[in-house]
Structures are given as C-alpha cells and as structure tokens.
Amino acid sequence: MRRTLIVVALAAGCASPVPSAPAERGPRFVSLATDALDAARSVAARRGAALDILEVSGEAAVVTLDAGDLGLLAEQIHARLDRCGGFMVHDSLADAHAAVTAAAVTRPERPELDYTLDRPAAVRAVLPALDAARIRDTIGELSAMQNRYYQSPSGAAASLWLRDRWRSFTSRPDVTVELFSHGYAQKSVILTIPGTTRASEVVVIGGHLDSIAVGGVSSTAPGADDDASGIATLTEVARVLLASDYRPARTVQLMAYAAEEVGLRGSLQIARDYQRRKVNVVGALQLDMTNYRGSDKDIWLMKDFTSAAQNGFLARLIDTYVGATYGFDACGYACSDHAAWNRTGVPASMPFEARMRDANRAIHTRKDTLETSGNNAEHAIKFARLAAAYAIELAKGELAAAPPPPPAATIAAAPTRSSWSGILAAGSVGLLLIGLWFARLVLSRDG
C-alpha cells in the first residue's frame, strides 16, 4: 500500500471554498502532491509572492502557505486538476516532513488485536433500539444550519449544539463531553465513556462536523451527506449505548472533528496530541458519508490509509450483526479523518456509502441536502448498526441497563410485550365504552 499522501482521481463534486472573510492568518506547512504545485504557485502569486517549496520527496512536496489561503488552494486544485483537495496542513515542518516521507517511517510494533466476536448478547440487545427516523431528524437539524464551515459563526455554534445534544443522553458523571480547541472558531467535540478494566486502551469512532461550499464563511453548505450523516449516525449510537448504560472494558471515545474539509486539520491535531501524550488508541472507525446508496452493495470498506486486519474485523461484524452487503474500494488519497489516525499508526477503517465512483455528487454544494439522500436514513442506519457492533465488540464490557424500546415502526411490524399491554389496555377501554353506551340505550328505552 502506498503510504505517501495523495494523488486523487475523484469523480464526485468537490469544494471551491473561497472564505469571504478568513479569520485565520499566518504561515502553515502544507503537504501535497507534486502535480498540485502549480495550483499552490497560483495561490502564492495572488499574494505577489513566489511559492516557498521546502521539500520534494517522490510524488509529494511540502510548501508554506498562509492559513487564510487554504480554501483558495482547494479551489485551485479543483479547477486545474479536476479533483478534490488531498492536501494536509501541518503546524510544524517536522510533521509535514514526516507526512511526505511516511513510506520510510517505521512504526513501533503494535501487538495485533485478536478481534474476537464474543459479545453477541449485548450487540443483539442494542441493535433493535437504533432508530433511522432519529438519524434522519438529526441530519435535518445539522443541515438546516447555514453552514458548518470551520471559521464561521454557525460552524462554531454547531460544536456547542452537538456538545449539548450528546450531553443530554446521560447524567452519568463519569461520561464526559468536551470541546477540543484548535485555534479557529469551530471546535471538535469528544464524548468519552471510560473503560472499566482496560481504560488506557481507547476505541475511537468519529466523523467530521464541518461542511464546505463555495463562499466559505457565508456559504450555504448543508452538508447533509458530507458529513451530517456521519455525525447523526454517531449521535444515534451514543444515544442507544448511553441509554443502555453501557460500561465498556476499554475506553470509548466518539469524536466529531472540526475542519476536515480544509486538510483534515481537526483530526490531525487530535491524533498528534494523542501520539504525544502516548494515548493507546487501539482502533479508529471513520463515518464520513453514510446516507447515499449509490452502488449495488451497501457498505464499502476503503482499503487505502486503513488497516487490513481491522477491515477484516468489520467484514465479520457486517456478516454477523448488520445483515448488509459489502465490498472493498479505495479513495486513492487521504480522503478523510481515518488517514490522520492511520498516520500515527492506529488501525483505522472507513466504511463508506458507495463505491468511490458512485458517491453522492452533490457534496460540497448547496444541493447536499437530506432530499438528495431520499429524505430518510435507511442507508445510514446500517452504519449505525456497524458502529454499535464495533464499539461493543472492540471495547467489550457490558450493558448495565436494558436498551430503550425499538422505534415505533418496528413495534407496529412486530408487537412486543409492552405493545401488547397497550393493545389490551386500549381494548378494555373500548369494551367499557361500548358497555356504557349499551347501558344508556337500555335506560333511555326504560325511561
């Protein structure tokens, strides 16, 4: 597998974000493919400067650009090369250097996990409670915001909104919901369910909170599929796990990353921070675009920038619990936040909504709406099942309470014990009313 960045052949639509009022300034190190250097040169030229190329290594290079010009870089790459970004932004030259020479980096040996499937009772108890209608509604709420751009007021508000939503799922004091600050308006949101017996081992499930479209800060960027769908999927998994009072053996962290669309900036900063603090992340699952069924099979496991062993585990989870069809495909470049974890040696996976070539073409435009994904979340619910199974089978542990009842539609299809008692109660009231009516009839005849 190629571990250098990049080289994109993206069929789907991509952003041409031009922030109208970039709040952020200052030099940044950017790693990108050498064929994108002309695009970077044109961005530097707009500032009347020559491009500062610091390193060229094979097909990848490191340049410096102003933070306020990153949206323009994405636009120029799209215009000149007819593909999406595929660049990474770094705070230090050492980090950028490591990215372009990643192929040569030897990672410390990690003992491979055993990926056993031995929690069927807990997984099978939780899955029926997952509710597609709630995922759909959350996508609706997120995509109703003007945009979730990493530098805009609504992008900043989205972080607080999500923090409050996640916080509302439990009053357990050991479960925390925190904001991770990056130095721009939007913050990442991290929900932590601490592990009981192996708390130092962390399982990460994430998606990106930001959205992007032409116009940057003042754009209309609903990002319903990219990636409100992933955040809504995560949110439903959080609701059900916490309502079941899930006590994982390993620590589980749900992450909504800021600023993915401008070079994986949020996740790169978090992954680096964890690496520096020697946090032992044993696996990362990325949910980016889960609600547009573009291909003949349901779930597509991206093979690049991911772990083959963990992808095999996901395939077994799908077969055992999800009841969906799946295939394998590749992005062809560091297309989402899983690549940030993969860079730090964490086994990462990216189950995707379609084959790359069949992905939702409305992304990064004002047309990426819930309507474009069919106004329901029947596709995303499969990813919620997969993510819940992944959490329980990788983090182990137990449910300390019964999961919430299945959604109403499921009850209608197959009455449960609690719905039978409802039916009986309604029947008794009906009989009582008929009795009263009959008594009145008899009495009025007598009178």
Q: According to CB under 6 A, which one of 69, 131, 201, 261 is a site residue for ligand BES? A: 261
Which residue intervals of 277-379 are DSSP H helices? 308-317, 338-343
- Phi and psi (nearest 5°) for 283? -175, 145
Q: Which is nearer to Zn ion, 123 or 359 (CB)?
A: 359
Q: 3-state class of 169 per DSSP?
A: coil
CB of 305 to ligand BES, least distance (A): 11
Catalytic residue among 131, 210, 225, 288: 288
Q: Closest approach of Cβ 263 to ligand BES, in Å?
A: 5
CB 340 within 8 A of CB 270: yes
Instruction: Name the minimum Å distance from CB 261 to Zn ion.
Output: 5
Full strand arrangement of the beta sheet holding 299-302: 326-329, 299-302, 351-352
Query: Based on CB atoms, which residue is closest to ligand BES, 268 or 394?
Result: 268
Report the residue number, 310 or 336, with the smaller CB distance to ligand BES. Answer: 336
Whether 398 is a known active-site residue: answer no
The number of angstroms, rounded, from the C-alpha of 404 to the middle of its chain's C-alpha atoms is: 23
The answer to whether 364 is a known catalytic residue is yes
The DSSP output letter for 304 is T
Taking each helix axis from N to C terminus, what angle separates 380-395 and 229-243, rounded to the nearest 10 degrees?
50
From 288, 298, 304, 368, residue interacting with ligand BES (rule: CB under 6 A) = 288
226 lies in the binding site for ligand BES (CB under 6 A): yes
Q: How far apart are CA 182 and CA 178, in angstroms?
A: 13
**C-beta of 239: minimal distance to Zn ion in Å?**
25
Contacts with Zn ion, 256-295, as mask; x by CB under 5 A? -----x----------------------------------
User: Catalytic residue among 236, 260, 337, 368, which?
Assistant: 260
Of 266, 97, 113, 79, the residue nearest 182 (C-alpha): 266
Contact pattern from residue 61 through residue 100 relative to ligand BES, giving x for each residue in contact according to CB under 6 A and a dash for the rest: -----------------------xxx--------------
Cβ nearer to ligand BES, comparing 162 with 175: 162
Task: List, in sequence order, every residue forming a beta bridge with 205; answer none if it has no partner.
Answer: 254, 285
User: Out of 12, 231, 237, 285, which residue is the one contacting ligand BES (CB under 6 A)?
Assistant: 12
Which DSSP state fits 405?
P
Say how many C-beta atoms besides its own lie within 10 A of residue 183's C-beta.
12
Contact 156, 23 (CB under 8 A): no
One DSSP character per residue, 24-80 reads: --SEEEEEEEGGGHHHHHHHHHHTT---EEEEEETTEEEEEEEGGGHHHHHHHHHHH
- CA gap 309, 437 in Å, rounded: 69
Tell me whether residue 62 or residue 289 sits nearer to ligand BES (CB atom): 289
Identify whether 288 is a catalytic site residue: yes
Tell me the residue number closest to ligand BES, measured at CB: 84
Under rule CB under 6 A, residue 335 binds ligand BES: yes
Residue 289's binding partner, choosing from Zn ion, ligand BES, none, with beta-carbon cut-off 5 to 8 A by kind?
Answer: ligand BES
Tell me, residue by residue from 117 to 146, as one string, x for binding to ligand BES by CB under 6 A and - for no binding: ------------------------------
Alpha carbon distance 25, 45 (integer Å): 17
Task: Report how many residues bind ligand BES under the rule CB under 6 A.
Answer: 21
- The C-alpha torsion from 229 through 235 and 238 to 240, rounded to 10°, is -90
In degrees, rounded to 5, the angle at the alpha carbon of residue 160 between the alpha carbons of residues 159 and 165 is 100
Closest CB to ligand BES among residues 244, 307 = 307
Q: Does 225 bind Zn ion (CB under 5 A)?
A: no
Q: Which of 62, 289, 346, 394 binds ligand BES (CB under 6 A)?
A: 289
Does residue number 75 form part of the binding site for Zn ion (CB under 5 A)?
no
226 contacts Zn ion (rule: CB under 5 A): yes
The correct pick among 4, 6, 7, 14 for binding ligand BES (CB under 6 A) is 14
Is 118 an annotated catalytic residue? no
Identity of the residue, 2 or 124, whose beta carbon is nearer to ligand BES in the bound complex:
2
Establish if 331 lies at the interface with ligand BES (CB under 6 A).
yes
The DSSP result for 96-160, as a single string, is HHHHHTGGGPPPPP-PPP------HHHHHHHGGG--HHHHHHHHHHHHTSS---TTSHHHHHHHH
End-to-end CA, the chain: 93
Residue 144 CB, nearest approach to ligand BES (Å): 19
- 290 vs 310, beta carbon nearer ligand BES: 290
Active site residue 260: yes
Judge contact between 264 and 31, C-beta under 8 A: no
**Active-site option among 90, 208, 338, 379:** 208
What are the CA-CA distances from residue 235 to residues 161, 274, 279 (Å)? 12, 23, 24
Q: Which residues are catalytic?
A: 208, 226, 260-261, 288, 364
> Which residues sit at the interface with Zn ion, rule CB under 5 A?
226, 261
> Which residues sit at the interface with ligand BES, rule CB under 6 A?
10, 12, 14, 84-86, 226-227, 260-261, 263-264, 288-289, 331, 334-336, 356, 359, 363
